[in-house]
Amino acid sequence: MQAAQLFDLTGEVALVTGASSGLGRRFAHVLAAHGAKVVVAARRADRLAALCLEIGAATQAISLDVTDGSQISGAFDRAEAVFGPVTILVNNAGTVVPKRFLDHSDEDWERIRATNLDAIWSMAQEAARRMIAASCGGTIINITSILAYRVTPGNSSYSVTKAAVAQMTAALALELARHNIRVNAIAPGYIETEMTESYLASTISEPTRKAIPQRRVGTASDLDGALLLLASRKASGFMTGATIVVDGGHMCAFV
């Protein structure tokens, strides 16, 4: 099978959270370019509208705060009303609280847990229930991080929640396989996005860059291949419970 066929997503309906910027924005472009209908979801409606203009008729914007569980069912209702049942869920929405453990407030912990962990659980559960009801199968792609496996100072809450997502990915894959639903994850290393730009632009990031064997940080486009592999039934139909690390070799060099 040629690559164009292997990664053809025609007929698939994708929902991407955190799509107003960064990785989510890139994911939406890539999925649509390969034939999927894409529902972009985030809180910043103005940015979603601009993204839809860029992509065209293959996309639909939905205002969604993933930390508000009462909005999730309605978001899927709106997606289905436009394109039909969602068959690809990209759980991309995330946040970071760059503080040491002892400096975290209860509100900090609640915010990062609600976005990075609780929302992924709730979105995956809603997607799976609807895929089962529609008998369409599908794939859930969770975005975790290399910090799920290695820890750096000042990222304790981020690391803990991303580690939980990695374990959640395996647990959901085990339970949902019988329903023809695959659950996998991508663990990026340091990628240039709005979330990381201030850190990566500062001199304090130099040790991080030097620790990466490829001697560079990644760009959002470096995740295109992993995304398409996991999104395509033809390319990864026998993959579930896997996490693909995309980090320039950084995991190999962590000490």
Tell me the per-residue pLDDT of 67-88, one tens digit each, with 9 for 90 and over.
999 999 999 999 999 999 999 9
Percentage, residues of the chain above pLDDT 70:
96
Contact criterion met (CB below 8 Å) for 100 and 158: no
pLDDT score for 255: 53
Annotated catalytic residue, options 149, 158, 190, 199: 158
- pLDDT-derived band at 221 (thresholds 50, 70, 90) equals very high
Residue 158: active-site member: yes
- pLDDT-derived band at 253 (thresholds 50, 70, 90) equals confident
Domains of the chain in sequence order: 3-253 (3.40.50.720)
Which one, of 145, 144, 170, lies nearest residue 90 by Cα? Answer: 144
Between residues 253 and 189, the one the model is more confident about = 189
Q: Which region among 1-5, 61-65, 144-148, 239-243 has the lowest average model confidence (pLDDT)?
A: 1-5
Tell me the per-residue pLDDT of 175-186, one tens digit each, with 9 for 90 and over.
999 999 999 999
Residue 102 has pLDDT above 80, yes or no: yes
